[in-house]
Amino acid sequence: AETLRWARSADNLTMDPHSQNSGPTHVFNHQIYEPLIIRDVDGSLRPTLATEWGISEDDDTVWEFTLREGVVFHNGNDFTAEDVAFSIERAQKPTSNMKELVASIREVEVVDDHTVRFHTDGPDPILIDKLTNLFMMDREWAEENNATEPQNFDAGEEHFAARNANGTGPYVLQQRVPDSRNVATLFEDYWGRDEFPLDITEILYTPITAAPTRVAALLSGEVDFVQDVPVQDIARLEQTAGVRVTRGPENRTIFLGMNVGDDQITHGTAEGNPFASREVREAINMAVDREAIQQVVMRGESQPLGTLAPPFINGYQEWMGEYPEVDLDRALELMEEAGYGDGFQVTLHCPNDRYVNDEGICQAVVGMLGRIGITTSLESRSLSIHFPSISNLETDFYLLGWGVPTFDSQYVFDFLYHCRRDGKGSWNATRLCDDEIDAMIAEIAGEGDLDARNEKIAAVWERVQEGIYYIPIHVQTIARAMGDHLDIPVHPENDFWAKDVAVNR
């Protein structure tokens, strides 16, 4: 019996698998719930609850999945196609935070107990990529417990599924004390008992907000595995005997979002909305010294970037990643041209417990913008306030990171560039609402042919890169530290499955 004592900076927000589309929430839930497929460390797809999948040969708007047999939920119920249908429908409900991922699914057809078909609105060749975090729930359990709709997280709803879990995963939730303690133990009837090492029999997941305490906990041997290792401590940890550090780039870009759509900003004293002016945005883009951030704030643990697309994904092209030289004179000129020669004042909202040195990045940005006359006050807060405030459009200028679990550009477009409508654009707090762009995005969704699709993607990128709707900063490198009896590689999505971990004592 081996306990994995696992710590990171923030708690998972809820146990409800469809309520929050956020990394820390998914990572813990992955131990308890399972999607049809998962994305492996190398980026490939790995069968999980589905053993086979593919687009129907007859109809490119139909995806067919063969489900794994002999899978049971923690409550003993069998996992069947009914449950898949239920889970997808649940994820499409208005209170779901995963609805963009399944927006294209028109209908889920239960063929038999272990076969389902997803009918999409037009062809959706990358649908499979969107399902890697879409967890399967037990219909019966949800109905029994009045949990057929996802928890409305932003409204602070009391919800059974938020505190209890019934997945098919290798671990069963034993205890959840928000902010302090999550315990899960090995599920005896797990379908993969013989397939995986399953050396770890118990998971003890603790959020430790204070970075030094977190590192101290690892150094003193109180935890075995730490995520969100502060960059400044990597060197020290690497030199410590008995500690292993793994690192690698994450499939996630860090960027600044701006309110480009409204006529007037509310979190600042500017006349009108300076962000609505492309000149201003270009000036900002020129003023942000990405390399300095990389070197000092990130201590080299990042890769500066000029686009929202992480280099991992389909649709990324070299030219997009390039970013302008820092040119303050030109930037000032641009500000002048835009009519903001005297600058303006705005509040930058920033999380302080989500991304690597997020607060530090924001502070650095504040300084850099100061040089082109933009006075920025910084409000940094916990991700649990930051994220709702983004989805509620309560910010004009914010820092956000975006991972692309589908490894495809469309995911970025749907969430970050599409206007907030038709169940899309839910993380687009820029108020960007460009019918043309939306139409272009819609076309990608309907395109069955991959080459044609890629062309359309490139067109969108060209369009949005030109518009400078966001100020991309970098792709961050993530580091994990652990006792040397473990070897947990970095996953591009910062995912991790305890069932895969082999313990070498």
Partner 1 sequence: MDVREKLVQRLSRRIYAGWDSDLAHSFRSSPVTIIAALVALTIILAAIFAPWIAPQNPFDPRQLNLMDGFTPPGQENPFTGNTFLLGSDGQGRDVFSAILYGARVSLFVGFFAVLFSLVLGVTLGLIAGYVGGRADAVIMRIADVQLTFPVILVALLIFGVARGFLPPQHREAMAVYVLIVAIGLSDWVQYARTVRGATMVQKSREYVAAARLIGRSPFAIMSRHVLPNVTEPILVIATISLALAIIAEATLSFLGVGVPPTQPSLGTLIRFGQGFLFSGEWWILLFPSLTLLALALSVNLLGDWLREALNPRLR
Partner 2 sequence: MIAFVLRRLAQATLVLLIVGFVSFSMFRFIGDPINNMMGQEATLEQRAELARQLGLDQPFPVQFARFIARAATGDFGVSYRLGRPVMDLILERLPATLELALVSALLAFFVGVSLGVYTAIRPRGLASRFVMTASLVGVSLPTFLIGIGLIYVFAVELGWLPSFGRGQTVQIGGWSTGFLTQSGLASLVLPAITLALYQMTLIMRLVRAEMMEVLRSDYIKFARARGLPERRVNFRHALKNTMVPVITITGLQLGSIIAFAIVTETVFQWPGVGLLFITSVQFVDVPVMAAYLMLIGLVFVVINLVVDLLYYAVDPRLRVEGARGH
Residues lying near partner 2 in the complex (CB under 8 A): 14, 94, 151-152, 154-159, 162-163, 177-181, 206-210, 212-213, 216-217, 219-222, 381-382, 384-385, 392
Q: Which partner from the list partner 2, partner 1, none does 268 bind, CB cut-off 5 to 8 Å by kind? A: partner 1
From start to end of 128-201, where are the E strands?
171-177, 181-186
> Which residue, 214 or 252, has its beta carbon nearer to partner 2?
214
CA distance 96 to 393: 17
Enclosing H/E stretch for 119: strand 115-120
| Of 97-105, 135-143, 294-302, 429-437: span binding partner 1 (CB under 8 A) | 294-302
| 9 sits near partner 1 (criterion: CB under 8 A) | no
Alpha-carbon distance of 159 to 156, in angstroms, equals 9
Q: Report the SS3 class of residue 46.
A: strand
* Contacted by 246, from partner 2, partner 1, none: CB < 5 to 8 Å by type: none
- The residue among 399, 404, 403 whose CA lies nearest residue 387 is 399
Report the partner that residue 235 touches, choosing among partner 2, partner 1, none (CB closer than 5 to 8 A by kind). partner 1
Distances (CA, A) of 224 to 45, 221, 242: 28, 7, 10
Q: Residue 304 burial by CB count (10 A; 0-12/13-18/19+): exposed, middle or buried?
A: buried
In the bound state with partner 2, the residue whose beta carbon lies nearer, of 110 and 433, is: 433
Which residues on adjacent β-strands are paired with residue 257? 398, 470
Q: Quick one: 389 or 454, whose CB is closer to partner 1? A: 389
Nearest CB to partner 2, comparing residues 295 and 392? 392
Minimal distance in Å, beta carbon 12 to partner 1? 21
Q: What are phi and psi of 183, to 5 degrees?
A: -120, 135
**Position 472 contacts partner 1 (CB under 8 A):** no
Stretch that binds partner 1, among 192-200, 315-323, 351-359, 431-439 (CB under 8 A): 351-359
Q: How many CA atoms lie within 13 A of 252 on its CB side?
A: 23
Distance CA 57, CA 54 (A): 8
- The first and second tokens of residue 433, run together, are 């609402």
Max CA-CA distance within the chain?
Answer: 68
The least CB distance from residue 454 to partner 2, in Å, is: 37
Task: Look at the block and give the residue holding tokens 């935070």.
Answer: 97
Q: Indicate whether 264 belongs to the interface with partner 1 (CB under 8 A).
A: no
Residue 422 CA to residue 418 CA, distance in Å, equals: 9
Q: How many residues bind partner 1 (CB under 8 A)?
A: 41
Would you count residue 341 as binding partner 1 (CB under 8 A)?
no
Part in contact with partner 1 (CB under 8 A); list of ranges 82-90, 175-183, 250-258, 372-380: 372-380
The listed partner (partner 1, partner 2, none) that binds 384, CB under 5 to 8 Å by sort, is partner 2
Q: Could you say whether residue 38 binds partner 1 (CB under 8 A)?
A: no
CA 414 to chain centre: 13
Shortest spacing between CB 296 and partner 1, in angstroms: 4
* Contact call for residue 219 and partner 1 (CB under 8 A): yes
Nearer to partner 2, 31 or 206 (CB): 206
User: According to the binding rule CB under 8 A, does residue 366 interact with partner 1?
Assistant: yes
* Number of residues that this document lists for the chain: 505
Q: How far apart are CA 296 and CA 361, in angstroms?
A: 10
Which residues of this chain interact with partner 1, rule CB under 8 A? 210-212, 215-216, 219, 230, 232-233, 235-236, 266-269, 289, 292-293, 295-297, 347, 352, 357, 359-360, 363-364, 366-371, 376-381, 394
